[in-house]
Structure 1
Amino acid sequence: MAEVLLDIPADAPLLADSERQHDDSDRPHDAAAPPPTLQAARWQVKSPKTAVRLIAFLEFLIIGSGMLLMIPIYRLIEDTVCHVYYGDDSLEMIDEMKCKTDEVQARMAYLLGWLGLFNSIMSLLTTFPYGMLADKVGRKPTILLAYAGMGLAAVSGPLMLRVAQHALRKNPYLLMVTSLLLVVGGGTPVVLSMLYAMAADVSSEKDKAASFLQLTFGATAGGLAGPLLTGFLMERLGPWIPVFVGWSIYPLILLLFCFIPETLPIDKKTKRGDTDVSLKALKQQLSNSLADFRAALGLLKNPSIPLALLTFLFQAARFTAYTSTIIQYVSKHFGWRLAETSFLLAPFGVLNLTVLATLPKISEMLMSRRFGYSSFGKDLLLTRYSTILLFIGAVIEGFSHNVVLFIIGLFVETFGAAASPLARATVTHYVEPEFVSRLYALVSTSEIVGSFIGGPVLAWCFDVGLQRKGVWTGLPWFYIALLSMITWIGLLFVRPPPAKKTLADDENDEMEPMNPHDD
């Protein structure tokens, strides 16, 4: 759960000093310059600070509504698989505790694993093109299109589970069709990315980190409120009521979008009739972006960069483990109903808020005269400690034969959940500001590649644990512990970036002829 709340598009801003140095660095800004003036209609917000607060509230609603839908959908999927197992053709839901058999849970684990992988692939194919579109035509058109895809996906999944029950019982993997709706605007990933882009547009360099922190708090609060409300509603009224409540929030989200003006500066947006909007121009931009990605591969010549990228390579596995796997694991092995698992996960949202609030202070303390860490040294140190906490927490969870010990492991893991934003801050030190976009392309690629060792492998680990019992039961968490240990060992070999040598120098060196007397 901690990974869900911290692994969002604004993860880098947790460290204010690194964020001010590198974020949005492809656009030159005067650090003392005021935020851009908003071109707003009469009914729209005009103050940048008000706009940021409204965007943070939207973040709260989107994350909260998503959490409202998540556990009920898992329950509906479990019931579908359960009907198949028992050969029951009735439309009524089977008692949940009868669905905790090993066979049902194994099939469900594989289904959720492959669904997660397919979603990741679709995100890879859609997020980049719609990000390009937002830079060409504006944030509002892009986010409204993505909102349409988000709404379609939110409605289609539960709707299929309701009206296409017989078809799904023959082939539950038909649920993957709902992932195809990400083609419409990119869905939730693009919506969240656009919200952070809009906050960046209306914030000065001085205020940007604070603005992003507000959005992060909004997301974390949504991750806390959503599971709590889901648990109360599911316990008393079943899975469909929280689904309907989640759906009811979507019109409110659309209404609030209307109060936010276009935030992309006019001089950066293509004017009507400009030939830049032509298909040829878009193709050229895509070609340039692919060229940038090929150039980004040159970053891997520095061995410290691929070692730091291990964090992102294994990020998908951690994300899956602390979303779908943890819910199913607690429900199966500790005899909890899915609704009850939301009460277990929700309190860790408060701990996430604590981590978010204290991390910048810890960063300042480490860079004080008493400790004397550099910005890079501080980021690397915190990344290493966060990663080892992920390892310790996963080991405890793996050996947990009762829910109390499992909660202790989850508590320890939560303190390391900021490993991803910390690793992002660390690896950013290796490039000059004009090359940050290339670096982030590598980060995104690492996360997508890691999807293939995430959901499907965790499903296999869960299945093996069901078959062999005993210590094998905790195999999913031992797998996460192994990945965390590999990452930590890799981080031990990360070295500070050269003080004077830059990526630009490296490129110039490649263009110069080699001296035959050089070794």
Structure 2
Amino acid sequence: MALRSRSASTAAQARETDPLLRPSSRENTALSGPRVGRLSIFALCVLLVTIGDFGIFLVTVPQTRLYESIACYHYYELHDPSRIGPGGGVAEKWCKVAPVQAEVAFVRGYEALFTFIPGVALAIPYGLLADRWGRKPIVLLSMVGILLSMTFTLAVCRFWQIFPLRLVWLAPVFTVIGGGAPVMFSVILTMIADVMPENERATAFFRLMTGQYLAQITATPISSSLMQSHGPWLPIKAGYICAFLAFLMACLLRETANPRESLDGAVETTEEPAATTDETLGLRAARRSKSRVELQARLASLWDRTTAMVRHDFKVIILILTFFINAVEEPTQSLNLQYISERYGLSLARAGFVISIKSAATVIAYMVILPGASWLLQQKLGLSDTRKDLFLARGSIIVLSLGFFIVAWSPTVASATVGFVISTMGRGYGNLIRSLVTSLVPARFTGRMYTMITVIETFGLLLSGPLLAALFRVGLDQGDVRWLGLPFTVAGVMGALVTVVICWIQVPAHVPRTAAEEEEGSATSVY
């Protein structure tokens, strides 16, 4: 009889040092092998995210226009059918009325809510599966769910005369497969943390985000141009193709996690001796009893492992909780198009060009300003990695909040564009805090910390999406365009609260590390 197992006592005990989603050890070939191997994994992750986001941004503007045109048709069908042209189309200039825009904001807000529910509910389970199965299978599952969700949304828009627009709220059901974008991005970040040493990690995160914004810079104006010349469906089809290409690229990823033993500790056999019926029933009953005991032990251990970071350093939890500002900032991105179009009387296609300016400023911030400030703080002022990250995080949240306030109260599209550009200087806040808390916690906590960050961000999105959409609707109901900036005012106030917290937090100049971590941190940076 062939056996491959641990002892029953070992199987029943889940160690506190096991993270929910742990970075692989230094024995992992990706980390301990040649630098070119590690960088190839990192480059593929960046390329995958960039191409995937390029497809998403190709779809964003025309999809908003489709939502608007569908809501516009149903509005004028009841109130003024003469506005409806051949084929059920309504000129975009007639779609800027408050009821239509309120419906689009309502649909978008709750679409964001339902989109991120799977991420909240499934982040930890898929994090555990990423430990057991590896990172790559979870990334692939997530992308399958995302593609199915996109397909459903496009089907509703294509057959709008059959399906109500609000049916798009069901599309996130498909992201139960893999947990959707939050889980996928969390696992990709974990893969990068697996292969990049500490002194390169923050820069690696910035490179990843830069790829996302390069995608937005190029995709948004391309999408707007295609909309003006060919209508909304051509950029949508191109975006779907890009998303599928990203899935094919994910198939090329190398696994960065170490193989691990089965979590259930069960004895695997290829052959068992014959047993009597009574013996079989007795064995099954014993196994069921043992399984219940092991399940209770694992649930207790899971709770201990999840709360271990709180017991280790409460400051880390405070820093992680400030990630909710990312959750507030993200829905404002989907409101940007509507806000610019409605307040300043621009078409959605022209509003897309304003968004591309904002994205270009973000890339400049990631590629020039933040790396330059990082070099200055370390080389000229002698700050440690942790204090440098904290200092930059404080500056980022201040300019982010300032940008929100400027956008909210700008009387012209030019001044609003300045506000958008200023706010982009603070888009590095999330990555800076991510790098900071990674340096503050022991390596055994890194995986569960990333999972917790994902849960905080996603839970914040569940609340902030409908909240900001409701605030935009309140602004529309006031009948004064100055009230349309209400969501950005609230976002600025929340940013100011985070500023107070982050300025109160203090971190040590140097964090004690293990010998292996010191060796990893001393590696020469290629950036």
| TM-score for both structures, normalised by structure 1 | 0.78
Please, which of 429, 454, 457 is the counterpart of residue 464 of structure 2?
A: 454
Question: Do 1:82 and 1:99's aligned partners in 2 also have CA atoms closer than 8 Å?
Answer: yes
Distance apart, 1:231 and its partner CA: 0.9
| Alignment-derived partner of residue 118 in structure 1 | 114
Please, which of 46, 53, 57 is the counterpart of residue 63 of structure 1?
A: 53
Residue-by-residue CA offset, 1:99-130 (whole Å, 9 max, x unaligned): 11011111221221111112122211123322
Q: Distance in 2 between matches of 1:311 and 1:145?
A: 29
Q: Counterparts of 1:103-114 in structure 2 under 5 Å?
A: 103-114=99-110
RMSD: 3.6
| Alignment-derived partner of residue 305 in structure 2 | 292
Distance apart, 1:204 and its partner CA: 6.1
Secondary structure of the residue that 2:151 maps to in structure 1?
Answer: helix
Distance apart, 1:66 and its partner CA: 0.8
Secondary structure of the residue that 2:346 maps to in structure 1?
Answer: coil
Q: Which amino acid aligns with 1:264?
A: A
Q: Counterparts of 1:304-383 in structure 2 under 5 Å?
A: 304-305=315-316, 307-321=318-332, 323-358=333-368, 359-368=370-379, 370-383=380-393
Larger radius of gyration: 2
Secondary structure of the residue that 1:87 maps to in structure 2?
Answer: helix
| Alignment-derived partner of residue 405 in structure 1 | 415
Secondary structure of the residue that 2:31 maps to in structure 1?
Answer: coil
Question: Do 1:139 and 1:262's aligned partners in 2 also have CA atoms closer than 8 Å?
Answer: yes
Q: Distance in 2 between matches of 1:70 and 1:210?
A: 28
Segment of structure 1 superposing worse, 173-182 or 427-436: 427-436
* Change beyond 3 A, Cα 1:436–1:475: same
Q: Distance in 2 between matches of 1:197 and 1:491?
A: 24
Distance apart, 1:147 and its partner CA: 2.0
Q: Distance in 2 between matches of 1:104 and 1:464?
A: 14
Q: Which amino acid aligns with 2:398?
A: I
Secondary structure of the residue that 1:121 maps to in structure 2?
Answer: helix
Q: Distance in 1 between matches of 2:70 and 2:335?
A: 18
| Alignment-derived partner of residue 507 in structure 1 | none
Q: Distance in 2 between matches of 1:382 and 1:312?
A: 15
| Alignment-derived partner of residue 486 in structure 2 | 475
Q: Distance in 2 between matches of 1:500 and 1:188?
A: 32
Please, which of 236, 239, 261 is the counterpart of residue 243 of structure 1?
A: 236
Secondary structure of the residue that 1:235 maps to in structure 2?
Answer: helix
Q: Are 1:29 and 2:19 matched, yes or no?
A: no
Segment of structure 1 superposing worse, 106-115 or 250-259: 250-259
| TM-score for both structures, normalised by structure 2 | 0.77
* Change beyond 3 A, Cα 1:135–1:462: same
Please, which of 388, 394, 418 is the counterpart of residue 398 of structure 2?
A: 388
Q: Distance in 2 between matches of 1:84 and 1:307?
A: 47
* Change beyond 3 A, Cα 1:494–1:50: closer
* Change beyond 3 A, Cα 1:102–1:276: farther
Residue-by-residue CA offset, 1:275-324 (whole Å, 9 max, x unaligned): 59999799976764443223444468x4x455534531232111101x21
Distance apart, 1:347 and its partner CA: 2.8
Q: Counterparts of 1:497-512 in structure 2 under 5 Å?
A: none
Question: Do 1:367 and 1:374's aligned partners in 2 also have CA atoms closer than 8 Å?
Answer: yes
Q: Counterparts of 1:139-150 in structure 2 under 5 Å?
A: 139-150=135-146
Q: Distance in 1 between matches of 2:145 and 2:267?
A: 28
Q: Distance in 1 between matches of 2:203 and 2:325?
A: 28
Please, which of 128, 134, 139 is the counterpart of residue 138 of structure 1?
A: 134
Secondary structure of the residue that 2:74 maps to in structure 1?
Answer: helix
Segment of structure 1 superposing worse, 246-255 or 484-493: 246-255
Question: Do 2:193 and 2:201's aligned partners in 1 also have CA atoms closer than 8 Å?
Answer: yes
Segment of structure 1 superposing worse, 65-74 or 205-214: 205-214
Question: Do 2:337 and 2:348's aligned partners in 1 also have CA atoms closer than 8 Å?
Answer: yes
Q: Are 1:417 and 2:430 matched, yes or no?
A: no
Identity %: 27
| Alignment-derived partner of residue 12 in structure 2 | none
Question: Do 1:36 and 1:201's aligned partners in 2 also have CA atoms closer than 8 Å?
Answer: no
Gaps of 5+ in 1: 1-23, 39-45, 503-519
